[in-house]
A = this chain, B = another copy of it.
Amino acid sequence: MKKILNSAADYVDEMLAGLVAAHPEYYRLHGDSGKVVARAREGTRGKVGIVTGGGSGHLPVFTGYVGGGLLDACAIGDVFSSPSAEQMADAIRSADQGAGVLRLYGNYGGDILNFDMAGDLVEFDEITCTTVLLTDDIASAPPEEHEKRRGVAGMVYAFKMAGAAAEDGRDLEAVTAIAQKAADSCRSIGVALSSCTVPQAGKPTFEIADDEIEMGMGIHGEPGIWRGKLRTADEIATEMMERLLADIPLAGGDRVSIMVNSLGATPPEELYILYNEVKAALEATGATIVMPLVGRYATSMEMAGVSFTLCKLDEELETLLTAPCDCAFWRV
């Protein structure tokens, strides 16, 4: 395992320690578990709280998006595994400003079990919670079963939009509705070129030949739609855009944002090469691109590959997307 670390067992704790040490203006650890990250400064009384949670190994997701106009707190688990219900409850408690808390996270079995349990726990604190699940990965279930889809990079749009709505002073119901609308507006698909290694497992999560890619593969190595020879950037982008546009058709006059996201090792150079075809495919529908996001927004450590997330906007979502936000990884 070629990683820079001290011990696999301490990977997440040391990562979090370094994160808050490097950016004390954004983050602090909350509670005893050492696995709950909250905004550096206490929130405004009456603001709706937004929490998320999930496994480590996806920076900036999840922890990185705690910040102004984004999330209030995050419970973070071991690499690729859910934080515990108690940690999630801590995150919810820290985010609560008396106006309730939205749990906004990806559709993974373990996370759901634990966030549900966390909800039971904070009932004793009289905190009202709502839930919105991200289900943007179109490769993980057909449209008829879209509620079974996994949540991937689409969550960044949901964090942003719900975060802006909460910052704007809207109530829990309204913030939850925005988050749901954002979640419903996003579709993602990924392609993997190489695996990553979970520190505690010590070997690559999956094997893939030196000239092969897997279309539709999940961010933890879940199987995709096909595995085959590496293709050109244009061919890859064309197929991914076709699949996205089949799932969420666009027409002239539509406004969309698109995220071209590196899964980790893939450098920005390659993202920009892909972006040419992405842009062409979107503009061919007559749609207008708003605030394209090209970079590393949701990763799997050193996995090579990319994901595209298409987010169809209405006026409200566009306003929220372009509103200011501020964390160590992203500023608008």
Chain B contacts for A17, CB-based, 8 A: 272, 276
Contact of A304 among B64, B272, B295, B302 (CB under 8 A): B302
State whether B275 touches A21 (Cβ < 8 A).
yes
State whether A4 touches B272 (Cβ < 8 A).
no
Copies of this chain in the oligomer: 2
Bound CA–CA A230/B1 (angstroms):
9
Closest to A234 in B: B6
User: How close is A86's CB to chain B, nearest CB, in angstroms?
Assistant: 23
State whether A21 touches B279 (Cβ < 8 A).
yes
State whether B292 touches A22 (Cβ < 8 A).
yes
State whether B59 touches A273 (Cβ < 8 A).
no
Residue among A2, A266, A267, A304 facing the most chain B CB atoms (10 A cut-off): A267
User: How close is A26's CB to chain B, nearest CB, in angstroms?
Assistant: 12
Q: Does A46 contact B (CB under 8 A)?
A: no
User: How close is A256's CB to chain B, nearest CB, in angstroms?
Assistant: 14
Chain B contacts for A299, CB-based, 8 A: 267
CB neighbors of B among A13-35 (8 A):
14-19, 21-23
Q: Does A193 contact B (CB under 8 A)?
A: yes
State whether A230 touches B2 (Cβ < 8 A).
yes
Q: Contact mask A249-273 → B, CB, 8 Å, 1/0?
A: 0000000000010001111111111
Bound CA–CA A274/B23 (angstroms):
14
Q: Contact mask A268-298 → B, CB, 8 Å, 1/0?
A: 1111111110010000000000001011100
State whether A15 touches B269 (Cβ < 8 A).
yes
Q: Does A112 contact B (CB under 8 A)?
A: no
Bound CA–CA A196/B279 (angstroms):
28
Closest to A302 in B: B265
Q: Does A306 contact B (CB under 8 A)?
A: yes
Contact of A302 among B267, B294, B306 (CB under 8 A): B267
Q: Contact mask A207-250 → B, CB, 8 Å, 1/0?
A: 00011000000000000000000101110100000000000000
State whether B275 touches A2 (Cβ < 8 A).
no
State whether A232 touches B5 (Cβ < 8 A).
yes
Q: Contact mask A307-332 → B, CB, 8 Å, 1/0?
A: 00000000000000000000001010
22 contacts between A and B (CB under 8 A): A2-B193, A2-B230, A4-B266, A5-B273, A6-B232, A6-B234, A11-B269, A15-B273, A17-B276, A21-B276, A22-B275, A22-B292, A23-B294, A57-B269, A59-B268, A64-B268, A264-B265, A265-B302, A266-B302, A267-B299, A267-B301, A295-B329
